[in-house]
Amino acid sequence: MTVAITQLHPVFVGEVVGIDVRKPLSSHEVAAIEAGMDRYAVLIFHDQNISDEQQLAFSKNFGPLQDGTNTTRTNDLRLAPVFADVSNLDKDNRVFERDDRRRISSLGNRLWHSDARSVRFRRAISLLSGRAVPPSGGNTEFRRHARCLRCTGRGHQGRDRRPGVRAFADLFAFSARL
């Protein structure tokens, strides 16, 4: 089947068909996905029931992997350190208790977060995999940073060209709003 990407939103987001992400990709398929990311910033691959191992193999097509943000206590992890596990489950797949420190520290994600915006070496792509998705609600909202910069006149070709300017998300400021 031929790879096809259909635009789903006027500014960004494309839906990919013609690729089974559970199988090894050809160089043509990798190039098509990279071109789609360049054009749409967010790509959706529906109905791809993949395992952790398959997701890692797929991810490695796009460069070296970065350990997730939750690697300080590896004995508490439910998934391998390379995954940023944003679920509400503990290492035994039980829902966190209300006063669990991991649940409390992730409350800021309810307001807003940006994947790896504050790390020095950012990867080109973040891959999200919804393994248990509710039938309604639980939506993930996306923002295309480069488009926002262009709309405000602060960016040129999707990049902020002002040397020395960096932006950081303040976890404490966001958490205070909960």
Q: What is the pLDDT of residues 42-94, one digit of tens each?
A: 899 988 889 989 999 999 998 888 766 655 667 778 888 888 777 788 889 89
Say how many domains are in the chain.
Answer: 1
Count the helices and strands in the chain (H runs, E runs): 5, 3
Q: Output the six-digit token pair for 129.
A: 């995999």
Distance in angstroms (rounded) separating the CA atoms of residues 112 and 100: 21
Q: Give the model's pLDDT for residue 157.
A: 47
In a domain, 9, yes or no: yes
Say what the pLDDT of residue 57 is. Answer: 93
Res 163: pLDDT? 60
The whole-number pLDDT of residue 144 equals 58
Does some domain include residue 2?
A: yes
121 lies in some domain: no
DSSP letter, residue 46? T
**What pLDDT is stored for residue 86 in this prediction?**
75
Its domain, for residue 60, covers 1-64
* Domain contains 42: yes
Rounded to whole angstroms, what are the CA distances from 23 to 16, 38, 133? Answer: 15, 23, 23
Instruction: Dig out the tokens for 150 from the structure.
Output: 């262009």
Q: Is 50 within a domain?
A: yes
pLDDT (0 to 100) of residue 139: 66
Residue 25 counted as domain residue: yes
* Per-residue pLDDT at 156: 45
Whether 18 and 1 have beta carbons less than 8 Å apart is answered as yes
Query: Can you spell out the DSSP letters for 99-159?
Result: T-HHHHHTGGGGT---TTTTSSS--S------SS--SS--------HHHHHHHHT--BTTB
Give residue 141's pLDDT.
64
Rounded Cα distance between 169 and 112, Å, is 9
**Structure tokens that stand for 28 in this block:** 């043509």
Give the tokens for residue 30: 């990798």
114 part of a folded domain:
no
Which portions of the chain are predicted below pLDDT 50? 155-160
Give the pLDDT confidence score for residue 66 in this predicted structure. Answer: 75
User: Is position 82 within any domain?
Assistant: no
Cβ–Cβ under 8 Å, residues 37 and 123: no
Q: What is the pTM of this model?
A: 0.69
